[in-house]
Amino acid sequence: MTAESVHESTRPLPTVPGDGSAPGPHGTRLLSGWFTSGRAADLADHLDRYGPLPLDRARRGGRGGPAPLIHAVEEAGLTGRGGAAFPTARKLQAVADGRGPAVVVANAMESEPASAKDATLLQLAPHLVLDGIALAAEAVGAREAHLCVARTRQHQVHELHAALAERERHRVGGVPVRLHELPHHYVSSEESALVRWLNGGDARPMSTPPRPFEKGVGKRPTLIDNVETLAHLALIARYGPAWYRQAGAPDAPGTTLVTLGGAVRHPGVYEAPMGAPLGRLLAHGGGPSEPLSAVLVGGFFGSWLPADEALPTRFTKQDLAQLGAGPGAGVLVALPERACGLAETASVLAFLARNGAQQCGPCRFGLPAVAEDFAALAFGRLDPDGLRRLERRVGLLAGRGACRHPDGASRFAATALRTFAAEVERHLHHGPCPAVDHAPVLHVPTGSVPGADEWR
């Protein structure tokens, strides 16, 4: 991805008078530098815009008292942007309270094929992320920090090495950050997979407990945060929680990066206020380019929602939960009426079946069986008894795996059966619809099951 291509697909939000979104124009915060200068920020640009790294605001109080930054993050209401939307201050405090020196891990793996937000952020504002790593490390008392990226993105790796070297030359403070290139598999971005790899093992998830905040890298308390979360933290450290809450909703403060795809006029990555209805988020990309049947919220581990239910729903964890969905990785894919939701789902389930960790029965047997049944349904080769078997298998996937991979696949399949119930009936009784022969809306990577030597 080049700066030019990001500029093409990342368009500014409309200016809202008094929306408190300074320091940037167009309602942007994380991407404000890009919209001001039209280029990715080097260290000089970054320091000119934000000033020096405010490490003093992150230091813990005397006798090990809580760090002011943790309190500020709690007041700001920042939640994780990597998928679970967990309160960031609680993670920080849990690691800070742990025994022994802590470790910070920044997760930039972005293994979700439908997402491009983290890559965009790291390309356009890398020093905001690196500031967040340094500040989080100071707040939790960490002596080492790691930034994990996918080794397949060599352009990104090169740019991050350059940014880290630039900070070292100019003696920007904070704990040194080590850049790691991990295998690029779907489950390799799971936090326990990062810990396992950094400890010398495979980049595959481990069963928990203990959780990383208890025993992570080197069996020490470990904070693992998505890079977007850390960039927000860096802004809160500079401007405070009251400023942060001037954007977004009272129960979902701040802004968020979303990747819009499918039938929108201008697909790409956008910065938007939290708590906005999904219809308004799609409007940042020019709105739907044709009538919609459904919206995929959260990516391949997300949920299909009927368009008429999704568009007025606010983009918050609480509101989406009422529909059986969640923000996930900030992905919204608009599915046009001309497309076949069952065929789209079958392709994704086949991908998820190939990309499990292959460590337990649900990944090795259950998920491939679900994918096979769903493909039969999508292409008109499943009878009613087969549908009942599919529904039973989908229900059996959740909660039985060694990691959350089967859970995400189960939710994705279950919401497809519910949202496309009318299409299910038509496929069962009349065979596949003409839409299955059209170009797919979702880009689903191809490839085989990773071999044992591909996890390290």
The pLDDT tens digits along the chain (456 residues) read 333 334 333 333 322 223 334 445 456 899 998 888 889 999 999 999 999 999 988 887 655 567 899 999 999 999 999 988 899 999 999 999 998 899 999 999 999 999 999 999 999 999 999 999 999 999 999 999 999 999 999 999 999 999 999 999 999 988 999 999 999 999 999 999 999 999 999 999 987 788 999 999 999 999 999 999 999 999 999 999 999 999 999 999 999 999 999 999 999 999 999 999 999 999 999 999 999 999 999 999 999 999 999 999 999 999 999 999 999 999 999 999 999 999 999 999 999 999 998 888 888 999 999 999 999 999 988 988 999 999 999 999 988 887 889 999 999 999 999 999 999 999 999 989 888 777 899 999 987 778 877 888
Helix (H, G, I), strand (E, B) or coil at 103: strand
Q: Which residues contact 411 (CB under 8 A, 6 or more apart)?
A: 301, 302, 303, 324, 398
Helix 384-397 vs helix 367-378: crossing angle, to nearest 10? 150
Query: What is the DSSP-derived secondary structure letter of residue 315?
Result: S
CB 54 within 8 A of CB 238: yes
> Does domain 341-440 match CATH 1.20.1440.230?
yes
Q: How far apart are CA 105 and CA 429, in angstroms?
A: 51
Q: Where in the chain is the domain with CATH 3.40.50.11540?
A: 3-248
β-partners of residue 114 are none
CATH T-level topology, domain 3-248: Rossmann fold (3.40.50)
CA atoms of 36 and 7, how far apart (whole Å):
12
Six token digits for residue 108: 């930039």
Which residue intervals of 355-439 are DSSP H helices? 361, 367-378, 384-397, 405-419, 421-430
Structure tokens at 70: 């943790």
pTM: 0.92
For the chain, how many residues are written?
Answer: 456
Domain with CATH 1.20.1440.230 in the chain: 341-440
Token pair for 117:
């937000």
Task: Give dist(CA 272, CA 46) in Å, integer.
Answer: 21
- pLDDT tens per residue across span 218-231: 999 999 999 999 99
Q: Helix count (H) and strand count (E) of the chain?
A: 19, 11
Write the CA distances from 287 to 42, 152, 225, 298, integer angstroms: 33, 32, 31, 18
